């Protein structure tokens, strides 16, 4: 059954948090470095379990299906080609490596079978069998060859060991190599077609040990049984046919193992950061956590972090607004009151006059006749809210010469006050008083010119 993420309606839920009883999407869980083997809920920080992922039955319940997998019409050519190519190679051990060429279609199909469960596709098909068209993309070939390379090198070394040194030593080397093979294949699927991906191989062994054991046993069984069958038919059949049997067996086990690895990708891929069909998570963790906390109504938790942010120099206007909003939602009015001055500084720096005006109005409701301390900020705000709230301009500036007689820009402030009184309230007498005060106090030529301009404008 499909379920949607609690906090992203419309996005399929991929995880379930037992603690909160919530279905969550990939955005709403935390996994370190794309590795979700310890995915955690962003709300409660407890581990979450994968939800709605394909079949969760253990791999060994489906062993028969993997062993039958290569026996289907679309994959038979891969078996046949390897058999035929192996048959035409002269029966000299030194030419054994050439027989590998017959495996190329099998390598391609194997990669396509696994990629079907690992890569994001626009259309999500279930239980789709690979076709020849899948091999033509070219994209998968690098991965296919990187998956084939370690198997070929190690198995050729084992065969050489069997031929020239000791059968048992060769079989053991091949067996050990095959134990690791599923992990190497999975690493290429998960991390992409680069040799560096192999470094992640141990992850796949240890994060799903039971299923990995099944995959490793299929790989070892394939190697040992193929070697045994070839050693038996060697004495019965001509060399070319023996080689054909070897080629066909190689293709059969190769594709079986690909089917097992595909099943592992399907049931554990999410732990490894794979999420076919869904967009990758690109939003930073902090933002995603905040979204979840806000959606869940845990404003107190968000406030803890936003209060920290506004204490730093890096805090932006948006950070301040959010912090103020959270304080308002949570009814923490005394904290809000304490932050009025620094918040106003930020608003003034950003020229956000409507909000600055609101903050001052709110503060004056708490404490009548409150005004920002400092003449410079009063003048800045007065300039900003001139059209918005002329009454506030008057409040901000009217007694400046008493409170701050040494303020350098007193002339400019009173010019603005006179202009406000004259133009917004029609109080030309009062305005004239302030103009005279400026004339009397300030010698600046620029101010005198502005005074004259104002008087001329009013006289007309
Ligand atoms: Zn979500
Ligand atoms: Zn939770």
Highest mean pLDDT among 201-215, 248-262, 440-454: 248-262
How much distance in Å is there from the Cα of 59 to the middle of ligand 1?
Answer: 29
Percent of the chain with pLDDT over 90: 52
Rg (CA), the chain: 38
How much distance in Å is there from the Cα of 233 to the middle of ligand 2?
Answer: 60
User: Of the bound ligands, which one is closest to the alpha carbon of residue 45?
Assistant: 2
Is 334 domain-assigned? no
How much distance in Å is there from the Cα of 270 to the middle of ligand 1?
Answer: 15
How much distance in Å is there from the Cα of 290 to the middle of ligand 1?
Answer: 12
How much distance in Å is there from the Cα of 49 to the middle of ligand 1?
Answer: 14
What pLDDT was estimated at residue 296? 92
pLDDT at 14 over 70: yes
With contact defined as beta carbons under 8 Å apart, do 422 and 431 qualify?
yes
Q: Looking at the chain, how many residues does it have?
A: 460
How much distance in Å is there from the Cα of 40 to the middle of ligand 2?
Answer: 8
What pLDDT was estimated at residue 268? 83
User: Of the bound ligands, which one is closest to the alpha carbon of residue 25?
Assistant: 1
User: Of the bound ligands, which one is closest to the alpha carbon of residue 17?
Assistant: 2
How much distance in Å is there from the Cα of 15 to the middle of ligand 1?
Answer: 9
Is 378 domain-assigned? no
Q: Which helix (H) or strand (E) holds 121?
A: none
What pLDDT was estimated at residue 278? 62
How much distance in Å is there from the Cα of 20 to the middle of ligand 1?
Answer: 14
Position 395 confidence tier, pLDDT thresholds 50, 70, 90: very high
pLDDT at 55 over 60: no
CA neighbor of 104 nearest in space, from 130, 85, 129, 131? 85
How much distance in Å is there from the Cα of 285 to the middle of ligand 1?
Answer: 12
Is 286 domain-assigned? no
What is the overall mean pLDDT for the chain? 88
Tens-place pLDDT, residues 190-235: 888 888 888 888 888 888 889 999 999 999 999 999 999 999 998 8
How much distance in Å is there from the Cα of 45 to the middle of ligand 2?
Answer: 6
Q: Quote the CA–CA distance of 427 and 421 in Å, as a whole number.
A: 5
Q: Quote the CA–CA distance of 418 and 434 in Å, as a whole number.
A: 6
Question: What single string gives the DSSP state of each residue in 171-240?
Answer: HHHHHHHHHHHHHHHHHHHHH-SSGGGGGGHHHHHHHSHHHHHHHHHHHHHHHHHHHHHHHHHHTTS-HH
Is 41 domain-assigned? yes
How much distance in Å is there from the Cα of 20 to the middle of ligand 2?
Answer: 4
21 and 127 fall within a common domain: no
176 and 122 fall within a common domain: yes
40 and 117 fall within a common domain: no
44 and 75 fall within a common domain: no
User: Of the bound ligands, which one is closest to the alpha carbon of residue 9?
Assistant: 1
CA distances from 1 to 4, 21, 53 (A): 10, 16, 10
Alpha helices in 311-444 (DSSP H): 317-329, 333-338, 340-349, 353-366, 375-384, 390-397, 400-403, 410-424, 428-441
| pLDDT (average), residues 390-417 | 92
How much distance in Å is there from the Cα of 7 to the middle of ligand 1?
Answer: 5
Is 410 domain-assigned? yes
Is 279 domain-assigned? no
Residue 419 CA, chain-centre distance (Å), reads 55
Last residue of a domain, one of 208, 239, 272: 272
User: Of the bound ligands, which one is closest to the alpha carbon of residue 47?
Assistant: 2
User: Of the bound ligands, which one is closest to the alpha carbon of residue 292?
Assistant: 1
pLDDT at 126 over 60: no
Is 247 domain-assigned? yes
What pLDDT was estimated at residue 370? 94
Position 128 confidence tier, pLDDT thresholds 50, 70, 90: low
42 and 156 fall within a common domain: no
141 and 190 fall within a common domain: yes
pLDDT at 68 over 80: yes
User: Of the bound ligands, which one is closest to the alpha carbon of residue 283?
Assistant: 1
With contact defined as beta carbons under 8 Å apart, do 30 and 43 qualify?
no
What pLDDT was estimated at residue 123? 46
Domain span holding position 12? 1-52
8 and 155 fall within a common domain: no
Neighbouring residues of the ion ligand 1, judged by CB less than 5 Å: 5, 7-8, 25, 27-28
What pLDDT was estimated at residue 361? 95
139 and 183 fall within a common domain: yes
CA distances from 186 to 259, 277, 321 (A): 12, 19, 47
48 and 169 fall within a common domain: no
What pLDDT was estimated at residue 190? 86
CA distances from 202 to 47, 221, 254, 260 (A): 22, 21, 21, 17
What pLDDT was estimated at residue 266? 82
- 257-296 in b/e burial notation, b at 16+ Cβ within 10 A? bbbbbbbbbbbbbbbbbbbbebeebeeeeeebbbbbbbeb
User: Of the bound ligands, which one is closest to the alpha carbon of residue 14?
Assistant: 1
Question: What single string gives the DSSP state of each residue in 299-325?
Answer: HHHHHHHHHHHHTSTT--HHHHHHHHH
90 and 190 fall within a common domain: yes
Residue with tokens 């294949």: 185
pLDDT at 122 over 50: no
131 and 183 fall within a common domain: yes
User: Of the bound ligands, which one is closest to the alpha carbon of residue 20?
Assistant: 2
Token output for 259: 């089917």
Structural domain count of the chain: 3
Q: Quote the CA–CA distance of 177 and 148 in Å, as a whole number.
A: 12
How much distance in Å is there from the Cα of 321 to the middle of ligand 2?
Answer: 28
How much distance in Å is there from the Cα of 274 to the middle of ligand 1?
Answer: 16
What pLDDT was estimated at residue 239? 86
Q: Which of 4-13, 279-288, 298-307 is predicted least confidently?
A: 279-288
| pLDDT (average), residues 312-339 | 93
Last residue of a domain, one of 246, 272, 298: 272
How much distance in Å is there from the Cα of 47 to the middle of ligand 2?
Answer: 8
With contact defined as beta carbons under 8 Å apart, do 218 and 256 qualify?
yes
65 and 34 fall within a common domain: no
How much distance in Å is there from the Cα of 186 to the middle of ligand 2?
Answer: 30
What pLDDT was estimated at residue 138? 66
pLDDT at 161 over 70: yes
User: Of the bound ligands, which one is closest to the alpha carbon of residue 29?
Assistant: 1
What pLDDT was estimated at residue 135? 75
pLDDT at 120 over 60: no
With contact defined as beta carbons under 8 Å apart, do 25 and 14 qualify?
yes
């Amino acid at each position: 059954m499909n379920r949607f993420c609690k906090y992203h309606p419309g996005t399929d839920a991929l995880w379930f948090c037992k603690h909160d009883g919530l279905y969550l999407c990939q955005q709403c869980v935390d996994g370190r470095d794309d590795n979700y083997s310890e995915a955690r809920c962003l709300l409660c920080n407890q581990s979450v379990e994968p939800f709605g992922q394909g079949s969760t039955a253990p791999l060994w319940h489906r062993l028969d299906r993997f062993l039958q997998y290569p026996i289907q019409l679309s994959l038979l050519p891969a078996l046949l080609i390897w058999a035929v190519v192996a048959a035409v190679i002269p029966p000299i051990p030194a030419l054994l490596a050439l027989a590998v060429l017959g495996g190329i279609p099998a390598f391609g199909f194997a990669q396509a079978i696994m990629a079907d469960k690992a890569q994001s596709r626009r259309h999500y098909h279930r239980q789709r069998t690979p076709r020849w068209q899948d091999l033509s993309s070219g994209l998968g070939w690098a991965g296919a060859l990187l998956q084939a390379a370690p198997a070929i090198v190690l198995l050729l070394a084992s065969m050489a060991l069997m031929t020239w040194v000791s059968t048992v030593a060769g079989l053991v080397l091949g067996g050990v190599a095959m134990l690791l093979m599923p992990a190497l294949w999975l690493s290429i699927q998960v991390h992409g077609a680069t040799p560096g991906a192999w470094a992640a191989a141990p992850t796949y062994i240890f994060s799903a040990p039971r299923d990995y054991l099944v995959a490793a046993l299929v790989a070892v069984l394939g190697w040992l049984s193929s070697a045994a069958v070839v050693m038996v038919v060697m004495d019965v059949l001509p060399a070319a046919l023996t080689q054909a049997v070897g080629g066909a067996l190689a293709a059969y086990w190769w594709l079986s193992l690909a089917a097992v690895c595909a099943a592992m990708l399907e049931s554990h891929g999410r732990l490894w950061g794979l999420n076919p069909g869904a967009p990758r998570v690109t939003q930073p963790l902090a933002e995603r956590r905040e979204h979840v906390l806000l959606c869940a109504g845990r404003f107190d938790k968000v406030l803890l972090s936003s209060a920290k942010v506004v204490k730093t120099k890096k805090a932006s206007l948006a950070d301040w607004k959010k912090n103020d909003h959270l304080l308002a939602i949570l009814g923490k009015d005394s904290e809000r009151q304490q932050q009025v001055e620094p918040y106003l500084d930020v608003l003034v720096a950003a020229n956000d006059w409507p909000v600055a005006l609101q903050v001052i109005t709110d503060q004056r409701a708490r404490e009548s006749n409150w005004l920002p301390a400092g003449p410079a900020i009063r003048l800045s705000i007065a300039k900003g809210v001139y059209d918005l709230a002329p009454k506030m301009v008057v409040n901000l500036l009217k007694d400046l010469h008493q409170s701050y007689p040494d303020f350098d820009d007193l002339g400019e402030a009173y010019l603005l006050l006179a202009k406000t009184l004259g133009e917004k309230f029609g109080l030309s007498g009062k305005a004239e008083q302030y103009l005279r005060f400026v004339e009397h106090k300030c010698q600046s030529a620029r101010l005198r010119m502005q005074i004259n301009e104002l008087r001329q404008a009013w006289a007309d």
